[in-house]
Structure 1
Amino acid sequence: MKYSLGAFVGFVIFTIIIDFLLHRLIHSDDDKRYNHFSFPFGTFWFYSIPTFFILSFSTIFAIIKTTNQAFTYVVFQWLLVSYLAIYLPKFFYYLAYKLTHKAIKVKRKFESNGKIKKMNEGRYPSISRKKFLSQVGIVVASAPFISLLFGVIKGRFAFSKRYSKLSFPNLPEAFDGIKIVQISDLHLGSLNSNYKEMEEAVRLINDEHPDLICFTGDLVNNFYEETIGWEKVFSKLKASIGKFSILGNHDYGDYSKWPTPQDKDDNLNKIKAAHGRLGFKLLNNQNQTLEINGDKIAVTGVENWGHPPFPQYGDLKEASKGTDDIPFKLLLSHDPDHWDAEVKTDYNYDLTLSGHTHGMQFGIEFRNFQWSPAKYKFRRWAGLYNEGNKYLYVNRGLGYLGMPARVGMPPEITIIELTRGPISSEPM
């Protein structure tokens, strides 16, 4: 509850500051007889919209803590995207206006000192300074609005395949060339009933003819009801060797208040059962040995392990029992922080697959450059990492949470081919 109250206060402060600053900015040169309480241009008009959203947020936060209705998250995410569609442009409008105004003042100072020669004076029709600044602000403010709109309409279902080829000297010969598809963070409650869109993701996965399909957690936002109806989509996934899954931090029901501990346990047990309905073998601090022509590899799944406030249910020691003599080991662990904290130092796993970060569903990726706010929270937040002969791959997630949009960080289907040879990695 403390976190929710902090988020609520943050929204209130941000909203009031932005509206107050814009109110002053827009009317700074207006008629001095301007009435701040008049309608429709008065203060009331500027605060009515944010007040509506703030009250909605506070109500939804309170409901989420006590409800057992998955639809609450759907309502919340659309309120959030509506809020961002209004206030991100406002924020960038103000920023562009003030920065451009500052730049003009600096330029004029240099001109007055004779350091910059005035050019093209009188050749083009002039406009007022305020109109020019407003036009700059509008142009800049339109960018986040259009980006967010694209992320909602197109980006959240613009599935992206990402390929990697990894070589290991200890990979058994019978598994040379094995193809693994990883998906993560479905958050079925957020997807609501977008079955058709996710059927396209299933088709893209099956087109790869994978040997293994690994799902690395967060099947739901909180409630088992979110899984109802999705078996008709994900049960169509095909893998020649098997389909394995683990739980993520959202799957335990920790983000809601339950009438009794038994209600919470029942919810978790039904979520575990849903993995089977969707066609996955759930590995809960367990491992599975895969054997072809006498050669073996191990697939281990550990429960969620993350730094606070994320839960630490994972028991890697228990999960790893019986795998010491298996030459190649694959680990499924939802939170990538687990890799640095325990996996790479204390255990001999060749490849770890994680998710959790979503790449914050927002970022910039161009050739070898990638950036997202996720990098300031997670050391390993997207893509392939390695230290020595141990690898970690962090999937950007196939679904979405909180904001029903993806901007510059498309939903990901990871395809990894394992080959036998000197330790190496390369894009496919």
Structure 2
Amino acid sequence: MRVTKLRRTPSFAIPKMSKPRINGSRLGKNVHLARTLLGEIFWWFARWQKRRIFKRAAKSLDSRIPFTATEARLTCVFLVYSGFDRAESCPLRQTICRKRTYSILGFFLHGPLLGAAPTRNYAFHGVETSTFSSSPSALALIFLSSCLFPAEAVPRKLSALVKGPALTLKYQSGPLLKGVITVDLVWYGRFSASQRAIIVDFLLSFTGTSVSNPSVASWWSTTGAYGSGGTAVISLGSQVDDDNYSLGKSLKSADLVSLAGKTGPSGGVAVVLTSADVAVEGFCMSRCGTHGQRRPGSPFVWVGNSETQCPGQCAWPFRQPLYGPQTPPLVAPNGDVGADGMVINLAALLAGTATNPFGNGYFQGAKEAPQEAASACQGIFGAEAYPGYPGKLLVDGATGGSYNANGLSGRRYLLPAVWDPRTSRCSPLE
């Protein structure tokens, strides 16, 4: 069969296509015969389609003739299969795969179905997500799926592929925190002046009604829909410094209760903040912070600085996680990954404390490990969020920091979505 050499356009050059090695690293040494056959079938079909698809692609890029749905899907699958996604400047990948929606393709590439380790970022829905070193049989499955399910009939969001049951936080008839909530701080360890200012300004922003929306105050107003009595008012109380590590640099859960008692009997919420060089029982393994009672009827909150211990877990999305989708990290809005991560966890725990202060308020699941107002919406910060993607956020033009809430003193913060009892949905700031 005669193959006509394609004309090189000013915008891009088509990379050469090399047949994958059957016994190389892509398949492994002990590959099943059926997988090999499927790979060969897909390979030869792709070669047969190569000339027509790329010729059409060249015309589309030059004259902006739109691809048909089938041609675009074949091109995206072909690019990944043939290794063209390794070329960061490949306009076919950037133009076609970024601007079109391939929910089925994105689902297979992004999930664990391929059974391989992540290799590089790839763009779906305008967001860099992780691809996986995949076998020809898996890509044959992708190809068949893309043919059986047209792109126009597939939902445009990855989160819409699987819809679970509606989220409901049940009210257990216990008391909630309403009225004025005084927040007393215990600084355990060494914090810089800028870190202190970030957190203090955040707490002062709860009453910053003059700040333009979306604001910290508007985010907090959702908690007013829990029960009756309106939205509680957060008031900053006393601050206690313990920069001499009076209990050492390795703390147990009981030590957190002792530190919370340093604020005295104010009747408010004691917030214990531990610095980056302090290890706490369960920190980075099962929790980034917690809330409970220092004594009956007196709630407390603890949040740790995870910058040097587990920023991918407790300061996401400002650092890449150890596991799961490896999306590029966002820029912290105040330029401090540790402090900005603490704000996210502090906000979530304050919302949980106000709506479930004593373990019999609003929550879902087991009482020992409840899903509360904000923890039930974990990983959601903006509209159209899905696992590995925090959602659509605002970006500071000067610093590049991502945020969704304005605060006092020109501060900007990234705050988690809160479950809204009026709509039974997680409601991020917009």
TM exceeding 0.5: no
Higher relative contact order (CA 8 A, sep 6+): 1
TM-score where L is the length of structure 1:
0.29
Report the TM-score, using the length of structure 2 for normalisation: 0.29
Instruction: Return the structure number with greater helix share.
Output: 1
